[in-house]
Amino acid sequence: MSMRAILSLVVLVLLIGSHESTPISDALKKLEDLFAKILGQSDDVLSFARFTQKYGKKYQNKEEIKHRFSVFQENLDLIGSTNKKGLPFKLGVNKFADLTNQEFLRNKFDCSRFGIFKGRHNVTDTTTIPSKDWTKAGIVSPVRDQGQCEAGWAISSVGAVEAAYRKKYPLGRISLSEQQLLDCSTTNTGCDGGAAANAFQYNGKCRYEPLLVGKLIKSYGVGVGVSFDENKLKQWVASIGPVTVGFHVTNSFAFYEEGVYTSDECGDTTEDLNHFMLVVGYGVEDGVPYWLIQNSWGADWGEKGYIKVEMGKNMCGVAAYAAYPILW
């Protein structure tokens, strides 16, 4: 058989294989046709149809389809224009691409309204190493997805306690409930926001009483504002383990895909913070130092649920508010 015949056969097999999932292909074709009738023919319309199918989006009527497509186009423009700037990171289309900036951004909350706690523990080991990645030590929990709830404070706090437990008790296995913190930590405000220090203090009873976050914690450390900086955060991460931090999320952050994230749009004070995440390490990529941070938006966001954030500039307030637990 000639090489041309072999290549033709391979192409034929690929084409046949691509049609094995005909229900999905038919559904997408119907969606593309529907959107073309409503929005017209364009590459953006086809991209919007594929986005809608991939993420299972449901729209109520033609008006909402038109509105969401308009938002989708604006976000495509943001992604495209940002990626053309030659920055050390890339943005990409993800499940947030049909949300407006106002819909996506959580209400900013000033950590001071949750109390500025000094904590009851001081780090004595001030040595650091060039890089650290606690995910490789097997103590970091899988990425969670907070959905529509502003549960970053609870998820990152639980993640810090679970990591501390596995670090202290290597043979131990533990899975704590962020839902209990959301329901029962009265010094926080559930899906409307909260702070790690309050979560670390929680040890009360509620509707049920599984293994409580607070009952495992002997003390905790908190770094806030001008008395804290990235050098201290680096010491904490190197010697203690994963640390929960506040962060100022802006719309470009929503579409992070890979690389070392940096922004000139975000703030860096406690008043700017609107999200909490878990710092699990640090390193250098292509000459740019970064924090390795676990987010709580699912493993389909960013780099399998993680983001690298530029180190050395208190980027988006990464060192404006930080806390870690010390276990019994």
The DSSP letter of residue 127 is: -
- The average pLDDT across 271-285 equals 94
Cβ-contact 296, 144 below 8 angstroms: yes
> Among the ranges 89-93, 264-268, 270-274, which has the highest mean pLDDT value?
89-93
pLDDT at position 180 = 81
- The average pLDDT across 282-286 equals 97
pLDDT score of 174 more than 80: yes
Query: Which of the pair, 173 or 66, is modelled with greater confidence?
Result: 66
* CA-wise closest residue to 157 among 138, 134, 135, 182: 182
pLDDT score of 5 more than 70: no
> Beta strand 256-261 with 306-310: parallel, antiparallel or unpaired?
parallel
Mean pLDDT taken over the chain = 83
Residue count (the chain): 328
pLDDT score of 296 more than 70: yes
| Token code pair at residue 172 | 């131990």
Cβ-contact 97, 75 below 8 angstroms: yes
Give the residue extent of every domain in the chain. 3-90, 105-327
Grouping H, G, I as helix, E, B as strand and the rest as coil, residue 169 is coil
- Predicted TM-score (pTM) of the model is 0.86
Predicted confidence band of residue 22 (pLDDT cuts 50, 70, 90): very low
- The average pLDDT across 118-144 equals 80
Q: Roughly how many angstroms between the first and final C-alpha of the chain, as a whole number?
A: 72
CATH for 105-327, options being 3.30.300.30, 3.40.50.10490, 3.40.50.150, 3.90.70.10? 3.90.70.10
Predicted confidence band of residue 188 (pLDDT cuts 50, 70, 90): confident
Count of CB atoms situated within 10 Å of the CB of 268 = 17
Instruction: Kindly provide the b/e burial profile for residues 29-65, where b requires at least 16 CB atoms within 10 angstroms of the residue's own CB.
Output: eebbeebeeebeeeeebebbbebbeeeeeeeeeeeeb
The DSSP letter of residue 119 is: B
147-153-154 Cα angle (round to 5): 75
Cα 175 from Cα 165, distance rounded (Å): 10
**pLDDT, tens only, 244-254:** 999 999 989 99
Instruction: Kindly provide the b/e burial profile for residues 310-328, where b requires at least 16 CB atoms within 10 angstroms of the residue's own CB.
Output: bbeebbbbbbbbbbbbbee
Backbone angles phi, psi at 217, to 5 degrees: -100, 125
Tell me the CA distances in angstroms from 188 to 5, 228, 242, 295, one per residue in order.
Answer: 68, 23, 21, 20
